[in-house]
Structure 1
Amino acid sequence: MWFSKFFILLSVWVMLSIEVESSTHWIVTESGLIQPRLNSPFDMERPYDLLAFLNQEKRWDAIFENYNDLMKHQKVIDALWFDVGEHTNSGTQILQDKDCEKAGNINAIDWHASILDDGSEKVPQEKYLFPSAYHGPSTDVPDCKRISSLTFSMFAFEHLESMMQRDNLSANPEYVLPELLTPIMTLDQFGHWVTGVLRENSSSWLHYHMASMFWRIRGNAPKALECSRRAVHYAPRAYKDIALGSLGVVLHRAGKSNDAIIVLSAAIDHDPTSFVNYFAIANAYSVIGEYNTSLKYYDDSLKLNPGMELLMRHKYGVMCQAKLSLRIKAIRETLNKLRDELNVYTQKQEAWTKLQTEFLKTIKNGEETIEKKAFERMSADNCA
């Protein structure tokens, strides 16, 4: 008897201490007995379990708190999906951008493109020792490493990692007409001729430089670098920018753009009037994604050679690429946020499911009760 009185008093205390809406969980029978309504969360399978009864409201509220939290995360996820759609649908805007229109198909732009600089704008023609006509053989090639030995030299930038591993580098051939080197010889004849000149004078920086151009056209980076090393070593200060420029271009075309930038910067320091080196270093900065610096060097190159179509296209190409990269970065950041939100949502959904499962074990007609109450509470929330 005393337990029944205690239970009644406890029930009254619970009714007074919980939220107003919780009062709908209880009814008073004709005999004056307070008991839970049917389908109430307090219509428990084990009404005599005092601890379970005291924790029931916490369980009930926790379910809806988790549900509301899930809905908040769902709204964030929906907004992030919308942002992804906005960014991915911006391709048309990029195509209509003025800079992108002027650049044309940026996928077709060769960011490793180069201009062969034979030094003829600075070096007197008689220094080249070209014959008036050439009908000789074409069997020898200028293997600079065999023609002369060269010890380690900091002045040839051999402390750079790419230079220390130069034997392992590779680069695509530079598709330049052999006639640009000399109109009186084929490329093979040119190689044979320059080999003979170097055998007679193994300290000629100019002919080492020309030998490097031979290997650049052939697409042999290690041999081109060996010739450029010697060209840099033997070149007087007035011509050192030419040799350094060729060395930097080979490194860039071999995929060592950061090291190429160091060498090309030195070339520009030696002669800030060569548009070829500005163009080369601009391409290197484009490849590593430093578009603002790249644009600066394209502008410097155009100041020295205004209106050159190749320079103009690369300049507009890098401006277009910069805008495209910003959009790609925004998409990547949004997708990362979306991934994190989905992970959190999944964890909370698992916790919510676990709470419901535990709650259903405590009440009569568990699934029917929670579905009905959930519908009523959600409807009330929507109306509010």
Structure 2
Amino acid sequence: MRLCQFLVAACCIHVLIASNHWVLKDEQIVQKLDSPFFMREPHNLIAFLEQIRYNEYVERSYLELLRKREQIVEHLRFSMRFGEDLAEQAKCAMDFYLLEKGMSYLKITPDQFKRINLPEHRDLQQAAAAIQKSTATTTKHERALEPICGNYYELGVGPATYDHLDSFQPEVLESAYVDREHDSNIGTATAELMRRYALDGLQRQPDSWKFHTLSSYYWRMRGNALQALPCARLATMLAPPEQKDIPLLSLGTILFRMGRLADADLILSAAVEHAPQVAENHVVLASALALKHDFNRSQQHFDEAERLDPSTLPHTQQVRNFISCLENLTKKTSKIDSYVKYMKNELKEFKKLKYHISQNHERLVQQQLPLGARRFLDSRANNEDLHRRGQYCSTRTPNGSDEPILFCDFYSDMQMRLESKDIDIDVLERDLMANTESVIRQVSTEIRKQFNLEQLKAAKATKST
């Protein structure tokens, strides 16, 4: 019995040694020289079975790798098209900044001036006309006087002046900037009107919140944040609770125009809390929240303003259109961001699969007889296929010798495929990064740049020229 088993095993080994890997070529059965089954130990049955497993895994996984690559390329094409469509849709957000009165509720308006309720010159237009007539007789010394609030009242410390906010820290105030405010509804003499009212009032009643508020308006028109801020803070500190929302509105608007969005939100929200029945407070806060991208709260305050005063609807429709446009863009931008993350995960899986293929191929190669060794030295074989292959060489030092030897061998089919550009992970990663940057540049970054107040100023300046 044991003898029979030995003979069967011997026959199997003999067949393996004899056949190895043969193919039909030119009507002849010849050895396939570049076969992975041309092994170092053709008699080793376990190694031969392992070689089959490695080879099947490598070939099957390579096809999966090609499929993944095509999928990634298609996803890249889709994301590029998606980005181009999104950039086209983004024009509605950019056009918003070219609207002449898109920021009207973040400026001084005649209604804000009237709410102060001065005892005289309540009609702003008439007062401005009177100022224009009298300006010619105003002396140079009188025009040089400015309503500097700190010269008339000391700014206190504590919650009433909001000195705990970052916006009022010395390092922030040093670089405080706000662009000039102009409104054609008020007239060209408004700044001079504000100066005269504020200066006269501060001299007579230095503790009156009304004249500190007027002074903050004047400095806003002049584009002087360093003077406008302390005036608005003093007015907030001095105003009675039932009228505190008026200076809060001015203070919050200054902060917003400075780009201090978080603190502006806090101050404008306080104005709404002090006078929730005033529609204008809701509109100013809603406008600021819209440009802060807080769309849900913005819509809520617009709705409340229109409930309190339906006449605000025509004035807020442009901002509402902007919100709808931007809300849609933000959702789609988030979608493209998620899609990019998905593609990055695809690349990770691609890289992992390629690594596993390389590992298994390395095991495959370890069992093979080198292509450029005894296989190629067989002069009877047709070696044209091998002649056309690339070669790689390396210097090795054999055991028991100090002399390095140059070994050269031919690339196998799988080696050449794994190193081809078709599945080059670096190329795919580079394409993904370039595509991602392009999409973000066209959509997210460019849109957000347009939201910068400096960009707003430049856009309006371009339009006016």
Q: TM-score, normalised by structure 2?
A: 0.63
Give the CA deviation at 1:93: 8.0
Most deviating of 189-198 and 227-236: 189-198
Q: Is 1:106 matched up with 2:112?
A: no
Where does residue 170 of structure 1 map in the other structure? 176
User: Matched residues in 1 for 2:11 and 2:153: separation?
Assistant: 103
In the alignment, structure 1 residue 124 sits paired with structure 2 residue 117: yes
**8 Å contact kept, 1:87–1:330:** no
* Equivalent-residue separation in structure 2 for 1:139 and 1:9 (angstroms): 114
CA offset at residue 287 of structure 1? 2.8
* CA deviation after TM superposition for structure 1 residue 152, in Å: 0.8
CA contact (8 A) 1:139 1:188 kept: no
In the alignment, which residue of structure 1 is the partner of 2:239? 235
Letter in 2 for 1:9: A
Cα deviation for residue 240 of structure 1 reads 0.9
Partner of 1:158: 163
Shift of 1:318: 0.9
Instruction: Please point out which of 357, 378, 384 is paired with 1:352.
Output: 357
Contact in 1 for aligned 2:287/2:298 (Cα 8 Å) = yes
Give distance in 2, aligned partners of 1:244 and 1:209.
Answer: 9
Q: Residues 11-62 of structure 1: CA distance to partner in whole angstroms, max 9, x if unpaired?
A: 859xxxxxxxxxxxx9689xxx664433353221343567744532232133
SS in 1 for 2:339: helix
Moved more, 274-283 or 320-329: 274-283
Alignment-derived partner of residue 203 in structure 2: 199
Which of 301, 306, 319 is matched with 1:297 structurally? 301
Deviation at 1:10, TM superposition (A): 8.2
Distance in 1 (alpha carbons) for counterparts of 2:84 and 2:357: 36
Q: Which residue of 2 aligns with 1:219?
A: 223
Match of 1:73 among 61, 68, 84: 68
User: 1:113, CA displacement in angstroms?
Assistant: 5.7
Q: Say yes or no: does 1:59 pair with 2:54.
A: yes
1:228 and 1:6, CA in 2 relative to 1: closer, same or farther beyond 3 A? farther
User: Aligned equivalents of 1:111 and 1:51: distance in 2?
Assistant: 80
C-alpha separation in 2, matches of 1:295 and 1:360: 67
1:147–1:199 contact (8 Å) kept in structure 2:
yes
Q: What are the within-5 Å matches in structure 2 for residues 20-35 of structure 1?
A: 35=20
- How far is 1:68 from its partner? 4.1
Q: How far does the alpha carbon of each residue in 1:178-205 deviate from its partner, in whole angstroms, 9 at most, with x for none?
A: 8838x8x562564255224213321010
Matched residues, percent identical? Answer: 20
- What SS does the corresponding residue of 2:322 show, helix, strand or coil? helix
Residue equivalent to 2:287: 283
Q: Within 5 Å, give how 1:257-276 maps onto structure 2.
A: 257-276=261-280
Higher mean Cα deviation, 110-119 or 58-67? 110-119
1:147 and 1:202 in contact (8 A); partners too: yes
1:187 corresponds to 2:179: no
Corresponding residue of 2:9:
9
- Number of residues of Structure 1 aligned to a counterpart in Structure 2: 349
Q: Check whether the contact 1:178–1:186 (CA below 8 A) recurs between aligned residues.
A: no
Q: Which amino acid aligns with 2:106?
A: S
Asked if 1:328 corresponds to 2:323, the answer is: no
**Which is worse superposed, 231-240 or 82-91?**
82-91
For 2:316, the equivalent position in structure 1 comes to 311
Deviation by residue 1:286-333 (Cα, 9 ceiling, x = unmatched):
233221221222233344252554411011111111111111111111
CA contact (8 A) 1:244 1:267 kept: yes
Distance 1:128 1:150, change over 3 A: farther
Q: In structure 2, which of residues 71, 82, 107 is the aligned counterpart of residue 115 of structure 1?
A: 107
In the alignment, the residues of structure 1 paired with residue 366 and residue 191 of structure 2 have an alpha-carbon distance, to the nearest angstrom, of: 88
Q: Distance in 1 between matches of 2:233 and 2:173?
A: 13
Does structure 2 retain, via aligned residues, the 8 Å contact 1:106–1:321?
Answer: no
For residue 378 of structure 1, what is the aligned residue in structure 2?
none
Counterpart check, 1:208 vs 2:198 = no
Say which SS state the counterpart of residue 106 (structure 2) adopts. Answer: coil
Deviations 1:79-109 (A, max 9, x none): 532541452243498489xxx5xx8823535
Unaligned runs of 5+ in 2: 23-30, 372-384, 387-410, 418-465
Change (3 A) 1:320 1:282: same
CA distance in 2, matches of 1:113, 1:12: 93
Distance 2:293 2:185 in 1: 35
Q: Is 1:279–1:298's contact at 8 Å kept on the other side of the alignment?
A: yes
Counterpart residue number, 1:380: none
Task: Name which of structure 1's ranges 304-313 and 361-370 shifts more when overlaid on structure 2.
Answer: 361-370
What is the letter of the counterpart of residue 269 of structure 1? E
* Paired residues of 1:111 and 1:286 also in contact (CA < 8 A): no
Report the Cα offset of residue 151 of structure 1. Answer: 1.8
Deviates more, 1:226-235 or 1:120-129: 120-129
Matched residue SS, 1:301 = helix
**Equivalent pair of 1:138/1:189 in contact (CA under 8 Å):** no
Q: 1:138 is paired with a residue of what secondary structure?
A: helix
Q: Residue in 2 aligned with 1:23?
A: none
Secondary structure, counterpart of 1:203 in structure 2: coil
Q: Letter of the 2:117 partner, please give it.
A: P
